[in-house]
Structure 1
Amino acid sequence: MELKYFYTGFGVIALLNLIVSVLLIKRDDLEVFQKVAQVILVWLIPLFAAVGLWLFYRSQDKPKSIPKSFGGGTSSGTNTHNGSGL
C-alpha cells in the first residue's frame, strides 16, 4: 500500500517536471544555454526548481497594465476663463 503512494507521488513530480521542461524549451526569450541549464535544474531538484521556475516565468508573462494618465492636460470640468476679457 505504501509503495502505491510512492509511485503516485513520483508520477506527479515527473509529470510536473515534464510540463515545466516543455514550457522552458518553448520560451523564445531564453538562449539555448539558459534553456538547457534550467531544464537540468528542474530534473536535479525536482519539485522546488520546477515550481519555482514555473512561478517565476508565470509572473513574467502577465500582461502589463496600461497606466492611466496622471495630471497634465486640460479637463472639460474646469473653467479657467472667467469671462472678464482680461
Structure 2
Amino acid sequence: MKILEKIKLWLSAERKARRERKAAQKVAALERESKERVQAREFNGEVYLCYNNVPLVPADGLSWDIPTTLAVAREAWLKWKEKEAGYEAHR
C-alpha cells in the first residue's frame, strides 16, 4: 500500500507542477503579446497610443478625462480606417 500512496503523491505533485508551468507560460505569452500589440506610433505627424498599429489616443490625450479620451480614440480610429480603405468620409 505504501508504494501506491507514494505513486499517488508523486502524480499529484507532477500535475501541480505542470499546472504551474502552464500558468507561467500563459502569463509570459500575454506579456509578450502586450508588448507586440500596444505601442506608441506616429500617425499624421502626431504620436499616438496604438493597438495593433491602429492609432487610438494622441500622446497628450493620456491626461484627459475618460469621455474625452474615448471620443478622440473613436475619431482617430475612424480616420485611420478611412485612410486604410483609401477614401475620405463625407461628414
Q: Place the TM-score, normalised by the shorter chain, in its bin.
A: 0.3 to 0.5
TM-score, structure 2 normalization? 0.35
Which structure carries more relative contact order (alpha carbon 8 Å, separation 6+)?
A: 1
Higher strand residue share: 2
TM-score (norm. length: structure 1): 0.36
